[in-house]
Amino acid sequence: MHLKFVFLIIILSFGESVIGQISQPLRYEIEIDNFTDEYYIVSAKENGLFLFKEMDKRTEDNESIWEIIRLDTSLQEVNRSEVIINNKFSFRGYSYDNGQFVMLFQEGYDFAKDLLFLTFSINSDTFKSYVYENVVPIRLSEFEVKNDAVVLGGNVNMRTVVLMYNFTAKRGVVLPGFYDERSSLLQMVSKTDDDWIRVITSDRLPSKRYGITVRAFNTMGEPIFQENLQAKDDLSLTDGRIINSSDGGNLLAGTYSIKRRTETSRGIYVADLERQNQDKIRYYNYANLENFFNYMKERRKDRVLKRIARKKIKGKKLRFSYRLFVQDIVRQDNQNILIGEAYYPTYSNRSSGYGYSSYTYDAVFNNTSSQVFDGYKYTHAVIIAFDDDGKLLWDNSFEINDLKSFQLEEHVHLAFLENEIVMLYLFNQELKIKVIKGSELIEGKFTESLKLMYESDEMKSNDEELEGLKQWYGNNFYAYGVNRVKNLKEKNIKLNRKVFFINKIVVE
């Protein structure tokens, strides 16, 4: 892992895609060897991308060296720098907001003691360092930047704790109201129209149901407001994502479940935090959505829809349960659009030919086996649009079928054209694409392969676990990963190369 390697940075323009809506104008490559860790990538929106990684070499004092590369939107290198990190600190996370990229390091392995922040400004391409002498040994799970502050979330003794550090004041505080064994952290929201940070928690109620609490703070850690939400009847609010809109106020959306079960959900709820009456929460059962079951084969879908119709006639409750990973809500043309990706955990049997006798404690051959988690399998994505009062406008879906990952993360992304929405995700070097207009289907699912650097390049292998697709800015996206490529024709290109790559994807 600690071997030197040579960087090869090549940028090439490609022609338009055959399919008019998708083009891949640029690709960026860095040649790596078999022992090199992949790069982290951070979107700086219209300011380009940050790439960074810990280098194989170290200083004479055994301190780590990190390389930071900034690219512009044409994938040209703007700046390359190295920073030295004291070996008591280990890398923990990163975030970007409003022209400032921040790297987080912590002292300690599981629990953070002192914290080190490295900040990089887009305007000057310089960095500053700040040390927060933390008095709370916290197991970190969330990290966000907002203006001149960072907010960090995690747990201490299995209880939620949220910290804030302000760069201007050079002061850290523990935010009040969180140290509760009944509370768990769901999300910290920094991308809002105002200067507040919102922290969303799930709270177990005395009735054993679950509610949602939204707290807002300014960047000095001072409380602004707190809103507690409880579901009706015997329901629980499973999770929540918030949108802050200057047009529609604060909306919270997520999934709801029956009383005690939170691993699966029955539908989507939308709540208006500014509404004072009891009708602030609207509920949408999965069975009542127009296109939720479109991912199924036609015969199975027909059976499900007939079953739903029979239950409605008899006045029975509709009970479809799904695990749904909910993304952040997108604001577009006076609509609020939520994407949820349905998934289920998979397991594999791992057997061993040896066990131990309960009588003699000697090793014997007995074919013992155990179940091992084998990743999350995705079935489909649902896209739901609602207005600023939380009223459902339309819904649609996107069959996935092929994706599996060991971490729950965003896969399906949206590009907004004048009258259409393009839905896309990446799997095994192929873009999977579907075009809709509200609840209508404009173009069914089709694929487009990621372009390689040269026409004579041939793919030898691709590391599926390292590839991904992310939204960049506007209708621009970037795909990334690690490829092994061979080229038998180009004279000045190596016969075989292993590369870390970034492809620019444009939807128009």
Name the pLDDT band for 367 (thresholds 50, 70, 90). low
> 239-270, pLDDT tens digit by residue?
998 876 555 457 899 999 987 767 899 999 99
CA 92, CA 104: separation in Å to the nearest integer?
5
Question: ∠356-358-360 over CA atoms, to 5°?
Answer: 80
DSSP 8-class letter at 298: H
> Does residue 102 contact residue 119 with C-beta atoms inside 8 Å?
yes
> Does residue 173 contact residue 196 with C-beta atoms inside 8 Å?
no
**Residue burial 478-502, b: 16+ Cβ < 10 Å; e: rest:** bbbbbbebebeeeeebeeebbbbbb
Tell me which residue of 18, 19, 26 sits closest to 72, measured CA to CA.
Answer: 26
> 406-415, pLDDT tens digit by residue?
989 999 999 9
> 96-150, pLDDT tens digit by residue?
998 899 999 999 888 888 999 999 988 877 889 999 987 788 999 999 999 999 9
Distance of CA 240 to the CA centre of its chain: 14
Percent of the chain with pLDDT over 90: 58
> 215-227, pLDDT tens digit by residue?
999 999 999 999 8
What's the pLDDT score for residue 359?
Answer: 43
Q: What number of CA atoms fall less than 13 Å from residue 140's CA on the CB side? A: 24
For the chain, give the number of residues. 508
Q: What is the dihedral of CA 173, 176, 180, 185, to 10 degrees?
A: -70
Which residues neighbour 167 within 8 Å (Cβ) at sequence distance 6 or greater? 117, 119, 128, 130, 148, 149, 150
